[in-house]
Amino acid sequence: MHKLIYAQVNPAQITIEQADALIGERLKGKDVKKLIGQVILGHEGVLMYCDSAIFFDASNSADCFGNVRIVKGDSLQMRGDFLRYNGNTRQAQLIKNVMLTDGKMVLNTDSLDYNRNTEVAYYQHNAKITDADNNLISKRGYYFLKEKTLYFKDKVVLSNPKYFLYTDTLKYNTAVKIAYFMGPTRIHARTADSTVMYCETGWYQTLNDKSYFGKKAFIQSKSQCMLADSILYDKRNGIGQAFNNVIIADTGQGVILNGSKGFMHEKKNWSYLTGRATLTQAIDNDSLYLHADTLFATYDTINKTKLYQAYHGVRIFKTDLQGRCDSLVFSTADSMMRFYNQPILWSNQSQLTATHIYMQLSNNKISTMHLLQSAFIINVSDSLQFNQIRGKDMVGYFLDNKLRKIDVNGNGQTVYYPKNKDDKTIGANRAECTDLVIYIDSNQIQSITFINKPDGTMFPIKDVKPVDFTLKGFKWLIQLQPKRKDDIYLK
């Protein structure tokens, strides 16, 4: 075997580094060199290997056939069945069974163009790219060699053991293994809860499982959905942060959380919201809106229940129920909403206060209200007259979300203004009894049952001065009542 070695004459000229044989021919009226067997061509730092080649002196170009290989540096290689290379324009085109690798990833396609001036390789008719962790396919794509960055376009699908990713446009850096989303992107996690993530801009670091989702971003699991203007997510540590227009929907419990900033810790099963933080709970074909400075949610994975905690400046609004307190706890384990630190509730025309108030929900309806320690209920009879019930503890019973019955347990005291059939007040009844049972209809006291040593007096209306008929601790706080939904955000 004879090897023909040619020295490089002109830096821009393709050189014949090696061939088993060289034959001079005329092809289509042009003088060409036909190279056969273990051919090596060189051009400005690039070596081209093939089984045979036709070298065109006049155009400084070559067509290479069989086992074509382009080598640049220590890692970059391109392979294919056919290569057309132009030394003047520094353009290469590989065709059929094409493979490109930089030592970390492998790109396979049927046709690849390589521009040495810009150091960009690109394909127009489908390719598959693989590295140690990922498989990717797309219709069109570009590889920027200097930056070690791949740019994919049209029907992009990225898969690895952790997820599937579908997008229209994706940029991927093979050196640092960061994927950049540059269009509508959907990610399906290979997890038990089949989490789905969506955004229209963002990035994902495959080495540390950190990601950023922006523009219409959301994360959907079987039981929960998070939406926000932007989301930072550290999958490895199970930490997520959401910013601006944050919505967390618990589809299983019918609870929606809103705020301007959210934080979740998956491994510790808790999350919180701040900035106009709001909890919305579906109750009896209506919605209860709750606002606080901070909302916490804790998930019990064993019992599959959630605990919601609201801290500082709590205010609630529902069509027929409003309230405020300093802090509140709602547990899905017992469907109990607990109000702490100066709680006040308004149900229709009644004001309820106590040291603590517990509200029991059943089938998304209010069933009972527990007023614990210094319980006080005030009900408007008219603009100057107030029905009042005071006691140690009380339990209010609701029907169709309306207060219908009250049990007073300990130190019971009442003031109420009975009316005749024409709805005119006939007097004022002041009574004391250890325990009481009070029935209410249409927001008015209908009857009182005194249990154990009652003591009461009825006063004719002409002898009644409302200011003299107020029980100890009476405070009518109607000015604090949220009159509409947006009032819950007022301090």
CATH code for the domain in which residue 78 is found: 2.60.450.10
Are residues 77 and 167 both part of a single domain? no
Alpha carbon distance 181, 196 (integer Å): 15
Tokens of 295: 């909302």
What is the count of structural domains for the chain? 2
Are residues 149 and 52 both part of a single domain? no
Are residues 216 and 124 both part of a single domain? yes
| Exposure string over 190-206, b if 16+ CB within 10 A, otherwise e | eeeeebbbbbbbbbbbb
Are residues 201 and 127 both part of a single domain? yes
Predicted pLDDT of residue 193: 67
Terminal-to-terminal C-alpha distance of the chain: 94
Q: Does 477 reside within a domain? A: no
Sign of CA dihedral 383, 387, 389, 395: negative
Predicted pLDDT of residue 250: 77
Q: Does 75 reside within a domain? A: yes
Residue where a domain stops, chosen among 222, 248, 279? 222
| Exposure string over 436-465, b if 16+ CB within 10 A, otherwise e | bebebeeebbeebebeeeeeeeebeeeebe
Domain of residue 90: give its range.
Answer: 1-101
Is residue 116 within 8 Å of residue 90, measured between CB atoms?
A: yes
Pairing of strands 239-250, 61-72: unpaired
Predicted pLDDT of residue 1: 41
Are residues 210 and 119 both part of a single domain? yes
Are residues 2 and 94 both part of a single domain? yes
Are residues 79 and 176 both part of a single domain? no
Are residues 35 and 71 both part of a single domain? yes
Residue where a domain stops, chosen among 75, 101, 127? 101
Residue where a domain stops, chosen among 179, 202, 222? 222
Predicted pLDDT of residue 6: 42
Alpha carbon distance 219, 249 (integer Å): 10
Q: Along the 491 residues of the chain, how does pLDDT read in single tens digits? A: 444 444 444 557 999 999 999 999 888 778 899 999 999 999 998 999 999 999 998 899 999 999 999 998 777 899 999 999 999 999 999 999 999 998 888 999 999 999 999 999 999 989 999 988 788 899 999 999 888 888 999 889 988 888 888 999 999 887 888 889 999 999 888 877 678 889 999 998 878 889 999 999 988 877 778 899 999 988 888 888 999 999 988 766 778 899 999 998 878 888 899 999 999 988 878 899 999 999 998 888 788 888 999 999 999 999 989 999 999 999 988 999 999 999 999 988 889 999 999 999 888 788 999 999 999 999 887 778 899 999 999 999 988 878 889 999 999 999 988 888 888 888 888 989 989 898 888 777 788 888 877 888 889 888 888 788 899 999 999 999 999 999 999 87
Are residues 3 and 91 both part of a single domain? yes
Are residues 2 and 91 both part of a single domain? yes
Are residues 135 and 85 both part of a single domain? no
Predicted pLDDT of residue 98: 97
Q: Does 64 reside within a domain? A: yes
Are residues 25 and 97 both part of a single domain? yes
Alpha carbon distance 83, 111 (integer Å): 10
Q: Does 85 reside within a domain? A: yes
Predicted pLDDT of residue 370: 96
Q: Does 62 reside within a domain? A: yes
Q: Does 90 reside within a domain? A: yes
Q: Does 343 reside within a domain? A: no
Q: Does 127 reside within a domain? A: yes
